[in-house]
Each structure stands twice: as structure tokens, then as C-alpha cells.
């Protein structure tokens, strides 16, 4: 799938609308949900129960405590604030995210890079408030500045000012973990959503694949741009509409190109990637958004990705 949608609406924000159908000799799914990472999560699952909700919420709370850019006591924030260039002990999941992101970076010509944290924060998308891009900041971006080891898990920076930012892949990483845990609990048919990223496992209540609608909120309620049948796969979206920051009369996208240290500037509004792995769907969506419509399409074709592109007219 390599689809381009060009709506005529002036402003749009892409989000995932989950659609279900009347049950057909199947157990009616239970809806569960809660807050996480500054957003929300939800689950529709046959066999879901209160214990399931508690498990998901506890898992998400634990991961947020590790990956949060907003909590000063999170291991990620502590690593960012450290001025040491020695090995810094961190939880193993933080090392796993760094390693997975590095592999995707190699496949996308550096379009995905967790060392872009300094630029993201300078533009006002971090807890430091942002004081603008400054000369020399780009010199602190690049995989050559960050090393990791798996045993014992640790990260190491070669510049005391290096700051990492993992928001591009955290939701996908955690969703992969939750899919495994839900399957271990015996759930075979469910739809899990975290912050707009969706993974569908098994069948919808009607017996077929889950239907995920991509809707432009400027349209009429229920009016969708595309319906996606989803089974045993994840759809993740990266878009320039989600978070913007105005400074000195300019509006900046929160999507920062690690190769330049600056926000992306092209007509690509969002990219949605469909992939069996939520982590890869999440990371590739961001990388393609950074690459833009031309480079992104070439990379998607090379990697064999299923992609939905949304561009300005």
C-alpha cells in the first residue's frame, strides 16, 4: 500500500477511529482504558477484565517512569542531565530502544536519531521550555556521540551536553510488550490503542479483521478519509500537525530532522505506516515524515513498507 490522500480542508489532524461491528457468535468485547504518557490508552478485547486493566495500567506507569522526558527523576532525564561521559547505568528497556532506533536509522539514512533531543528541547518541545536553536547544537547530534551496552545495561555520551529523545518509538515499543503480555493472558482477539497508535490482533467481533478509519476532524462526524482492515498488525502515524511551537513569529513543527537539527519544512502533513511490529511502525513513520514526500517514498519502497501519505494540496 502506498496511498496519497490530498484533502481540500485547510487544517487537519489525523487520528485513528476504531470501528467495530455487531458480534456474530463471538464474545462481546469489553472496553478498558486509562491515562498514560500525557495521553490515553484503550483496549477492546473479548475476555478483558479488571485484572487486565490493572496489568496494562501498571505496565504503562512503569515504562513512563523510565522513558519520561517530563519527569526529572526518570532514568532518561537523569542520563540527559548528567555531565559525565562515563558509562551511565540505565534500565535494559532504555538500551533496547536505543539499539532498535539505531538500526532503523541505518535503514533510513539517519532520518531517525534519538540524539536529536537537544534540538527538540531548544525549540520548546521539552521540559526545559526552549531557548531557541543556537550555533554548535548540531554538533551534538549524531549516533557517533552515543554508545550503549546490554550487560550490564548502560548508555554513554562523548559530549556532556548530549540529550536523547525517544518519543518517536516509545509508544510502539511499549505496545509490543503489551501485545505479548495480553497473549500470555490468553487474549486472542483485541484492539489496543496508545496515544493514537493502534494494534489489531485476531478478529473483530463480526469475525473479520478490525476496521480502522483514518478521519480528518474538520470533516463531518464519522466521515473518514480511508478505511483500513487491520489484523495482526499495527498502524502508527507521525504528523507535523500534532504539536507546533510559535517563537518570534515563526511556527515550528515538532518533527526535527536530525541531519540538520531543524524542524521539517515540506508539504507532507502525516505518514501512517502499517507493520506487524508496533515499534517499527512507530519509528518508520517518524523517519518517513522527516524524509518528506520524495525521499520518503523511495525509502518506503526500498523497505517494502505499507504507507498512507497525507499531503497538503
- Is a pLDDT exceeding 60 seen at residue 16? no
Instruction: Give pTM, 2 decimals.
Output: 0.86
- 127-167: pLDDT as tens digits: 444 445 555 567 778 898 999 999 999 999 999 999 999 99
Among the residue ranges 57-71, 185-199, 218-232, the one predicted with the least confidence is 218-232
The pLDDT > 90 percentage for the chain reads 59
Q: Which residues form the domain of 206?
A: 2-311
Task: Write out the three cell numbers for 78.
Answer: 537523569
Number of domains making up the chain: 1
Q: Which of the four pLDDT bands, split at 50, 70 and 90, describes residue 7?
A: very low
CATH of residue 150? 3.10.520.10
- Is a pLDDT exceeding 60 seen at residue 15? no
Amino acid at each position: 500500500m502506498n496511498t496519497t490522500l490530498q484533502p481540500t480542508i485547510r487544517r487537519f489532524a489525523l487520528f485513528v477511529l476504531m470501528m467495530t461491528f455487531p458480534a456474530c457468535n463471538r464474545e462481546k468485547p469489553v472496553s478498558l482504558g486509562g491515562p498514560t504518557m500525557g495521553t490515553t490508552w484503550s483496549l477492546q478485547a473479548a475476555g478483558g477484565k479488571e485484572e487486565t486493566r490493572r496489568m496494562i495500567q501498571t505496565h504503562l506507569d512503569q515504562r513512563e517512569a523510565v522513558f519520561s522526558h517530563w519527569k526529572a527523576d526518570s532514568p532518561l532525564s537523569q542520563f540527559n542531565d548528567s555531565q559525565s561521559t562515563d558509562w551511565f547505568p540505565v534500565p535494559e528497556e532504555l538500551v533496547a530502544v536505543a539499539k532498535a532506533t539505531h538500526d532503523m536509522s541505518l535503514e533510513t539514512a539517519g532520518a531517525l536519531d534519538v540524539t536529536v533531543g537537544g534540538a527538540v528541547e531548544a525549540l520548546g518541545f521539552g521540559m526545559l521550555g526552549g531557548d531557541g536553536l543556537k550555533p554548535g547544537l548540531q554538533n551534538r547530534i549524531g549516533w557517533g556521540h552515543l554508545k550503549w551496552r546490554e550487560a550490564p545495561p548502560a548508555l554513554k555520551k562523548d559530549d556532556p551536553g548530549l540529550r536523547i529523545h525517544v518519543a518517536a518509538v516509545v509508544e510502539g515499543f511499549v505496545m509490543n510488550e503489551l501485545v505479548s503480555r495480553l497473549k500470555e493472558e490468553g487474549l486472542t482477539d483485541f484492539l489496543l490503542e496508545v496515544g493514537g497508535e493502534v494494534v489489531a490482533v485476531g478478529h473483530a467481533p463480526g469475525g473479520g479483521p478490525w476496521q480502522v478509519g483514518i478521519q480528518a476532524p474538520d470533516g463531518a462526524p464519522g466521515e473518514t478519509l480511508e478505511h483500513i482492515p487491520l489484523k495482526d498488525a499495527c498502524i502508527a502515524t507521525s504528523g507535523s500537525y500534532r504539536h507546533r511551537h510559535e517563537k518570534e513569529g515563526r511556527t515550528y513543527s515538532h518533527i526535527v530532522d536530525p541531519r540538520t537539527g531543524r524542524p521539517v519544512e515540506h508539504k507532507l502533513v502525516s505518514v501512517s505506516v502499517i507493520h506487524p511490529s508496533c515499534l517499527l511502525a512507530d519509528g518508520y513513520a517518524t523517519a518517513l515524515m522527516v524524509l518528506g514526500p520524495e525521499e520518503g517514498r523511495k525509502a518506503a519502497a526500498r523497505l517494502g513498507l505499507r504507507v498512507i501519505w497525507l499531503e497538503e494540496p
